[in-house]
Amino acid sequence: MKKQLTLLFIVLVQCSIIAQNKNITLEDIWKNGTFSAKGIYGLSSMRDGIHYTTLKNDTIFCYEYAKASKPEIIISKKDLTDGGKALSIDSYKFSEDENKILIATGTEHIYRHSTRENYYVFDRKSNLLTPLTSGEKQQYALFSPDGKQVAFVKANNIFIKDLITNNEKQITLDGLQNSIINGATDWVHEEEFAFSVAYFWSPDSKKIAYYKFDESKVKEFSFNEFNGQLYPSEYKFKYPKAGEDNSIVTIHVYDLASSTDKIMDIGKETNQYIPRIKWTPDANVLSILRMNRHQNKLELLFSNTTNGTPRIVYSETSDTYIDIHEGEGDYVYFTSDNKNFIIQSEVDGFNHLYLYDMKGKLVNQITKGNWDVMNYKGLDEKNKTLFYIACETSPTEKDIYSIKMDGTGKRKISSSKGVNSPEFSDGFKYYINHFSDANTPEFISINNTEGKQIRVLEDNSELIKKIKEYNISQKEFLSFKTTENVDLNAWMIKPQNFDKTKKYPVFLTFYGGPGSNMVTNSFDGRNYFWYQMLSEKGYIIICVDNRGTMYRGTSFKKCTYKQLGKLEVEDQIETAKYLGTLPYVDKSRIGTFGWSFGGYLSSLCITKGADYFKTAIAVAPVTNWRYYDNIYTERFMQLPQENASGYDDNSPINYVDKLKGKYLLIHGSGDDNVHYQNTMEMINALVKANKQFDLFIYPDKNHSISGGNTRLHLYTKMTDFILNNL
């Protein structure tokens, strides 16, 4: 018996060793879902602050925050039929009194944020589901605050549905494709100011404020759509490139009772931006953010919606640019008593929160220090306490804090080292936290606002157990100083069974653009496993955040102003030089990879930095900022008419003659964001210089290059390129 137990023990140990030495495959990552993490979807706090809802399998469940209990089913699959046809729930919204639910189904994505879908209204009292309207799909349906009406956008016009009389009214009449847009955004505002819903109910449900975009003078961009057609169709949309005309924006307020439309006075200048509008608690006053085209002057207007006259209550200028789209949500937040507003600003060199009265007088700076607030999460007005996320500990960490409105009583709520993303309950008694670190997938828990964990909703224990079966190396964090005395943050994954006496090739990945950082103590999803797979094959994987990236204050972030690409590529070259000093790095085998801005930077590395890099993969790269949209590009570069050298001196197109290593260009032909034109012009320059390179085009794919088998094919292509050339 003792001998049998010994043999059994040996077998179990051997099986365990084998189980923990499985190799990751691309099919595991991109096809089989082997490493898929679980999440909680459709989270929404109920008005009582005691319950929350989630969406799973086309069923909306209601739970208590404070304790685990059997959920109430708000709506289930059996309630979701229209004429005998079963419907699915893509998203949902409650009315203010929570007696009705707007359900979106059949969602089609247009661009990054924009969608169109069919909406239904579910009455919880009668248990009836009715279509919102008929005909083509709608956009951005919203209940009025009193719950009696729903507004929506269809065919570039705004409509209102009265839920009591069932009458439908069209309140704008001039909407026209590629010409006039009411209540939704044009392409460039959606992409660069990060909003797509462009109309807003007044607090008393009597008015609707909305944007009108006149894009008739904006130049069109077009590309072919193949889709297996005998003759490809042409897709056209308005896309203003750097230095070109924008939409003319006007702000309107429609009065439901009188059916009148009033234009707000936003000044005589039309060559400007209105990145946000928002109702104040006073239903007769609309706040409007106004920026000049250079985006270095911002003004907050309070407009009287009766006569349209404005007054300026806040003004800010910058020697470089002002970011209004960082983090989540709005830029200005009003207290419900209509006495104060909270605004984010970088005026002291770091992103912080400030309290003003409604006349525009500074009451006090709420947060202070040499660190950045990342997101403002809300205000508990009863206790005069704000909640926010900040990178105070480190640019790589994101922690939850609370602070009093007067700037006292700051307290760090989160305790685990990593990245936290909380969703607070109404009343701020609880929050559901999404946490991860560099080597741990998402952990979702319910906590009270003292930071105490109440219970775990999802710990992804199955995925963690699965990961232990594979050859996994820990992602480590480090920093190093460049020859220009700049400290750069990085993470590194070393090969399994790392031997410091050997020399390893290096795969350098980055994004590197403004408003980003990739060196964060958070789980990187599927890319994490791709990097692990490459490390299994003997590569060191490293990522470095160069100058121009986030959460280190404005001097670090904005030093790239008017010269995008210059300092960024210098820092990545410095990375290669630093790696070359490490005894375990083969400095002749350093390769780069980047997507979008990262593809631009990777292209500069293999051209400008040709002496330091053996290979480069550039996915959907910008190759000259003249080809990119004007809001983004001019924010950092001014207009090309004003800064021609800034545009041309750092374009990889102008350095193709330096190319020595292996270069792989990848693009989707249907990329509405970074146009395929960028790759075409890079090809022309490479051919003219008689430089050989590799190219792969994904027909009809947009900037994400995804869908179906696409990601598996893409990552197989890139992996083979790395194995064969680096």
How many Cα atoms within 13 Å fall on the side-chain side of residue 680? 9
The two three-digit tokens of residue 177, written as one number? 């494709």
Q: Which are the contacts of 196, defined by CB distance < 8 A and separation ≥ 6?
A: 113, 114, 115, 140, 184, 185, 190
Last residue of a domain, one of 428, 451, 467: 467
Rounded to whole angstroms, the Cα distance separating 701 from 456 reads: 39
124-154: b (≥16 Cβ within 10 Å) or e: beeeebeebbeeebbbbbbbbbebebbbbbb
Specify the pLDDT at position 3: 42
Helix (H), strand (E) at residue 7: helix 2-19
Question: Domain for residue 179, yes or no?
Answer: no
In tens, the pLDDT along 675-686 reads 999 999 999 999
Residue whose entry in the numeric block shows the structure tokens 């605004």: 343
DSSP 71: P
544 and 658 both lie in a single domain: yes
The two three-digit tokens of residue 352, written as one number? 């912080």
> What 3 state SS string does 697-708 have?
EECCCCCCCCCC
CB atoms < 10 A from the CB of 326, how many? 18
Residue 307 identity (one-letter amino acid) = N
DSSP codes joined into one string, 509-538: E----TT-----SS--HHHHHHHHHHHHTT
568 and 702 both lie in a single domain: yes
CATH number for position 568: 3.40.50.1820
498 and 410 both lie in a single domain: no
- Where residue 84 falls among pLDDT bands split at 50, 70, 90? confident
Q: CA torsion, points 283, 285, 286, 290, in degrees to nearest 10?
A: -170
Taking the alpha carbons at both ends of the chain, their separation in whole angstroms is 54
Question: Domain for residue 320, yes or no?
Answer: no
% of the chain surpassing 90 pLDDT: 94
Mean pLDDT of 158-173: 97
Rounded to whole angstroms, the Cα distance separating 659 from 557 reads: 29
Specify the pLDDT at position 12: 36
Question: Domain for residue 395, yes or no?
Answer: yes
Q: Which are the contacts of 282, defined by CB distance < 8 A and separation ≥ 6?
A: 203, 338
518 and 384 both lie in a single domain: no
The two three-digit tokens of residue 645, written as one number? 């050298």
479 and 351 both lie in a single domain: no
Question: Domain for residue 268, yes or no?
Answer: no
- Where residue 180 falls among pLDDT bands split at 50, 70, 90? very high
Last residue of a domain, one of 170, 200, 217: 170
3 state SS of 160: strand
pLDDT above 80: residue 325: no
Specify the pLDDT at position 326: 54
At residue 684, what are phi and psi to the nearest 5 degrees? -55, -45
Question: Domain for residue 31, yes or no?
Answer: no
Rounded to whole angstroms, the Cα distance separating 380 from 376 reads: 12
Question: Domain for residue 593, yes or no?
Answer: yes
391 and 486 both lie in a single domain: no
In tens, the pLDDT along 337-372 reads 999 999 999 999 999 999 999 999 999 999 999 999
Question: Domain for residue 66, yes or no?
Answer: yes
Rounded to whole angstroms, the Cα distance separating 234 from 217 reads: 20
417 and 537 both lie in a single domain: no
In tens, the pLDDT along 604-622 reads 999 999 999 999 999 999 9
- Where residue 329 falls among pLDDT bands split at 50, 70, 90? low
Rounded to whole angstroms, the Cα distance separating 180 from 247 reads: 9
In tens, the pLDDT along 185-209 reads 999 999 999 999 999 999 999 999 9
The two three-digit tokens of residue 677, written as one number? 């034109």
DSSP-assigned beta bridge partners for residue 476: 492
- Mean pLDDT over all residues of the chain? 95
CATH number for position 420: 2.120.10.30
DSSP codes joined into one string, 105-157: EEEEE-SSS-EEEEEEEEETTTTEEEES--SS-BEEEEE-TTSSEEEEEETTE
pLDDT above 60: residue 241: yes
Last residue of a domain, one of 140, 170, 200: 170
The two three-digit tokens of residue 399, written as one number? 């922690």
pLDDT above 90: residue 184: yes
Residue whose entry in the numeric block shows the structure tokens 């706090």: 45
451 and 524 both lie in a single domain: no
334 and 483 both lie in a single domain: no
Q: What is the pTM of this model?
A: 0.94
- For 403, the domain range is 326-437+440-467
Residue whose entry in the numeric block shows the structure tokens 């003792």: 2
Specify the pLDDT at position 228: 92
Handedness of CA 575, 581, 583, 589 (dihedral sign): positive
At residue 59, what are phi and psi to the nearest 5 degrees? -130, 135
Longest dimension (CA), the chain: 95
Strands 540-545, 504-509: pairing is parallel
69 and 157 both lie in a single domain: yes
DSSP E strand stretches across 517-675: 540-545, 585-595, 615-619, 662-668
Specify the pLDDT at position 31: 96
DSSP codes joined into one string, 457-489: EE--HHHHHHHTTB--PPEEEEEEE-TTS-EEE
Rounded to whole angstroms, the Cα distance separating 495 from 535 reads: 5
CA proximity to 246, closest of 631, 633, 693: 631
How many Cα atoms within 13 Å fall on the side-chain side of residue 25? 7
545 and 455 both lie in a single domain: no
CA angle 702, 682, 669 (to 5 degrees): 20
659 and 548 both lie in a single domain: yes
CA proximity to 417, closest of 402, 403, 437: 437
Specify the pLDDT at position 328: 53
Question: Domain for residue 35, yes or no?
Answer: no
Give Rg (Cα) of the chain: 27
Mean pLDDT of 384-388: 97
CATH number for position 141: 2.130.10.10
In tens, the pLDDT along 259-302 reads 999 999 999 999 999 999 999 999 999 999 999 999 999 999 99
- Count of domains for the chain: 3
